[in-house]
Amino acid sequence: MDILLSFYLFVLGAVLGSFFNVVALRVPLRESIVRPPSRCPACGARLKGRDLIPIASWLASRGTCRHCGTRVSPLYPLGEAATGLLFAWAYATYGWRPETLIGCLLVSLCVIVTVSDIRYMLIPNRVLLVFAPILAIARLWAPHGPIWSHLLGAVVGGGLLLLVALLSKGGMGLGDVKLFALLGGIIGLPQIPVALVAACLAGTIVGLLLLATGRVKRKQPIPFGPFLAFGALLAYGYGTQWIAAYVSILS
């Protein structure tokens, strides 16, 4: 049964991930997410059903448009695959409980802001405004610890990055601040500092690799939203265990 549920959630996540790609790529441009229908961004050809099968269509076409042969960004299948795998991961972590639903909502937010930030270096306010009340209601319905820990998580998460943004004089965008405040409200305190440490560590490693391979130049900005999302997901799934292990070492 667990395998069937995990497979179902993977398929559901991959299908929703296709829609999340549309949201992430259109909302920053202030375009409708329903009209016009999906089309090739290069030639404008309307995509048929066989072009819209999550992951499989991109693989079958070898990452190119079936109509004009233009290369299709791997962000599309990666977003779909990541959503599916993370939906299944949420179930594997928390089982058939309300926390799994919150995990899937968290994954959905993280996928959308990651794709958007990678593509445009922008975390859309409208995406955060849609998710904020949904996640707040879900968290009130199924708190993971006392409610004050989630409120403090939002304050600490947003406050820490706001301080960084002010001190860096533009090195940190306010979109990152608002995102981390929302993530802090979901995962709460003390997990949010764990998320920040994981995000900074991942950002440093990836940044050094990009510099070493010549993909970015020194002082060239890179999006930090994906790393905040990565850190939040790690803290959401394993933060409590990591904190307990750290405390046991100290004691």
Report the 3 state secondary structure along 106-120.
HHHHHHHHHHHHHHH
**Burial label, 217 (beta-carbon count in 10 A; 0-12, 13-18, 19+):** exposed
Domain range annotation of the chain: 1-120, 143-251
Lowest model confidence (mean pLDDT) among 77-91, 148-162, 214-228: 214-228
Whether 170 has a pLDDT exceeding 80, the answer reads no
Residue 33 main-chain phi, psi, to 5 deg: -90, 0
Contacting residues for 49 by C-beta, under 8 A, at least 6 apart: none
- Give the pLDDT confidence of 18-70 residue by residue, as tens digits: 999 999 999 999 888 888 777 777 676 677 777 788 898 888 888 888 777 78
| Mean pLDDT score across all residues of the chain | 89
- Give the pLDDT confidence of 100-111 residue by residue, as tens digits: 999 999 999 999
Work out whether the CA dihedral 91, 95, 97, 102 comes out positive or negative.
Answer: negative
- Report the distance separating Cα 233 and Cα 227, nearest Å: 10
Pick the more confident residue, 241 or 1.
241
- Structure confidence at residue 142 (pLDDT): 86
- Give the pLDDT confidence of 104-141 residue by residue, as tens digits: 999 999 999 999 999 999 999 999 999 999 999 999 98
- Structure confidence at residue 44 (pLDDT): 67
Contacting residues for 198 by C-beta, under 8 A, at least 6 apart: 230, 231, 234, 235
